[in-house]
Chain A
Amino acid sequence: MSRSAPAAALGAVAVAALALTGCGTVVAAEPTGSSAAAQITVTDDQGREVVIDGPVERAVVLNSYANEFVRAIGAGDTVVGVDRSSLNRLPYLEITDDEVIAEGLDQINYEAVAALEPDVVVLPRNAVWQEAAEQLEGFGIPVVVATAWDYAVFDDTVDLLGEVFGAEQEADGFQAFADEIQEVVAERVEGLDTVPVYWETAEPYLTVLPGSGFHAIIEAAGGENVFAEAGGGDVQQEITVDPAEVVTRDPAVIVHEYEPAATPTEASAFEATRDELTSRPGWSAIQAVEDDQVYVANGWATSAIAKSIGALYLATWLHPEAFEDVDPDAYLERWVTEFQGTDFAGVDGYISAPGDQG
Chain B
Amino acid sequence: MTTSLAERDAGTPPTGRGPAPARDDRPRRAGAWRPVALAAGAVVSVLAIVVAVTIGTAGVTLADVWGAILLATFGGTLQPDFSQAYSIVTELRLPRILLAFGAGAALSVAGAIMQGLLRNPLVSPFTLGVSPAAAFGAALAITLGGATTLPAWVIILSALGMALAVSAFVLSLASAKKMAVATLLLLGIAVTQLFEALTSALQFAANENTLQAIVRWTFGSVNDANWGDVQIVWIVLLLSLPLVLWFAKDLNAIAFAGDDAAKSLGVNVGPLRVGLIVVSVLLASVVVSFCGVIGFVGLVGPHIARLVIGADHRYLLPASGLAGGLLLLLADTVGRTVMAPAVIPVGIVVAFIGAPIFINLILTRKTALR
Contacts and interface: CB of A to CB of B under 8 A. Distances in A.
Direct contact of A and B (CB under 8 A): yes
Interface of A: 2-3, 5-7, 9-11, 13-14, 16-29, 31-32, 46, 84, 98, 100-103, 105-112, 114-115, 117, 125-131, 134-135, 137-139, 234-235
A347 B92 CA distance: 46
Contacts, number: 195
B245 A18 contact: no
A129 to B, nearest CB: 8
B108 interface: no
A6 B73 contact: no
Contacts of A130: 147-148, 213
A102 B340 CA distance: 9
A137 B203 CA distance: 28
Contacts of A131: 216, 223-224
B222 to A, nearest CB: 11
Interface range on chain B: under 10, 10 to 19, 20 to 34, or 35 or more?
A: 35 or more
Contacts of B34: 2
A138 B78 contact: no
Contacts of B203: 235
B38 A5 contact: yes
B78 A112 contact: no
11 contacts: A5-B35, A9-B39, A24-B73, A24-B75, A27-B75, A106-B215, A106-B216, A114-B88, A130-B213, A139-B87, A234-B204
A interface majority secondary structure:
mixed
B89 to A, nearest CB: 9
Contacts of A22: 227
A131 B56 CA distance: 19
Contacts of A24: 71-76
Contacts of B93: 111
A21 B341 contact: no
B221 A107 contact: yes
A131 to B, nearest CB: 4
B84 A19 contact: no
Contacts of A23: 72-75
A123 B223 CA distance: 17
A135 B314 contact: no
Interface in B44-60: 45-46, 49, 56-58
Contacts of B248: 3
A7 to B, nearest CB: 6
Contacts of B91: 135, 137-139
A112 B57 contact: yes
B229 to A, nearest CB: 10
